[in-house]
Amino acid sequence: MRPADPDDIDARFEALVAQFGEDEIRRMTAAAESVASPPGRRRGPAVLAVIAGLVVLVGLVVVLRPDVLERLGIVRPAAGGEDLMISGPVVARPGPLLTPIPDGEEGLFDHGPVPAPSAGPFAGTPAVDYADGEQGLTMPAARALGGLTEKEVGQALQRVRRLLSAAHLDPATVRGERPEEFARLLHPRQREEFLRHLDAGGPSGTRSWLFSLAPDTADPVGDVVKVSGETTVSERAGGGVTIETDYLFVHPVSRPGAPLTVTRVVEHHRSEFSAYREGGKLVVWLAADKSALFGANCDPDDGFVHPRFPGDPRGARPSGAPVDPYDRVSGVSAGPRCPAALGT
């Protein structure tokens, strides 16, 4: 920032100085000294106001018009050519203000560097380098296979991608609401089965096909879920193709009513889909589904995800030897739904 035009500064200071005659300055100085408290006693509000006024006036004049100090008798030339500041109270009353003119450059009113933004809920974990949401659901290039055309394989891959997104990324599903989008994408026969057992709980429950936070247990943090993994396609016995998916979904969550209490639930999800022709139409069927949850309580068997927060005494602790939740090589097929983790 730069100050206003020098001529304007002169005019403003002339107006400021004109308010104080020499007699008035002496009278106000004496008045300030007379109200100063004796040693050992607190100074009253009047003296504090006087001192504050002095700081404002002298500070402005020193920066912009040092010659005015000499005219006011606050600074006088010393014998060696250096200026001497005369100590003692000086009282000023409100006067014209100098308004800096912004010019896009740093100046007298620069407040220093802007603080760096928060590193976010994924800082310090491998997930910080994962893709955001659906961008991480990468599909291989389609090719004719198992009696299906390249177009049909491509359609099957896109249906699988949309099913994964609806099951693990859709905001309504993640919040534990009714998974309408996921159900719509299923084959009609499988959709009926899924909805019939959605709230059944236990081994027959289908809520576990999804990532759904249990009501009143956690709130999603932000609108980004980090995703990393891969999809493979192979020929299926009897015709068609088998599509296998292997992904990590990293969900940042906070305790309800405590938005600063943030943790992460890492879901290692593997699934298998079959794609084939039936009655001349392409069918995509969810054949197998398995997830391991890191950072979740283990005792509920309702199909919902119950995040575990630091210091949380509730719920059964994860079992087994701790593993790296970001290592997909370990697999999820033989382990518990919520194995012990080295950290999320």
DSSP line for 89-151: -------PPP-PBP-SS--TT---PPPPPP--TTTTSGGGGSEEGGGG---PPP--BTTB-HH
β-pair partners for 285: 274
Angstrom distance (rounded) from CA 228 to CA 250:
9
Angstrom distance (rounded) from CA 292 to CA 72:
80
- The overall average pLDDT reported for the chain is 74
The owner of tokens 């936070």 is 213
Pick from 72, 73, 97, 86: which is nearest to 17 by CA? 72
Would you state the pLDDT for residue 313?
Answer: 67
What is the Cα 40 distance to its own chain's centre?
A: 52
Pick from 289, 297, 295, 214: which is nearest to 256 by CA? 214
Q: Do 160 and 139 touch, CB atoms closer than 8 A? A: yes
- The one-character DSSP state at 298 is S
If one counts every other C-beta atom within 10 angstroms of the C-beta of residue 75, the result is: 19
- For residue range 76-88, list pLDDT tens digits in order: 444 444 343 333 3
Angstrom distance (rounded) from CA 334 to CA 122:
28
- For residue range 234-248, list pLDDT tens digits in order: 999 999 999 999 999
- For residue range 35-68, list pLDDT tens digits in order: 444 444 444 444 444 444 443 444 444 444 445 4
Q: Do 294 and 268 touch, CB atoms closer than 8 A? A: yes
Would you state the pLDDT for residue 183?
Answer: 98
Would you state the pLDDT for residue 114?
Answer: 31
pLDDT average, residue stretch 14-28: 56
CB within 8 A of 169, min separation 6: which ones? Answer: 133, 134, 225, 227, 249
Per-residue confidence band for 320, with pLDDT thresholds at 50, 70 and 90: low
- Residue 177, pLDDT > 70, answer yes
Angstrom distance (rounded) from CA 198 to CA 173:
12
Would you state the pLDDT for residue 201?
Answer: 82
Angstrom distance (rounded) from CA 46 to CA 281:
91
Would you state the pLDDT for residue 344?
Answer: 77
Q: Are strands 281-294 and 241-255 parallel, antiparallel or unpaired?
A: unpaired
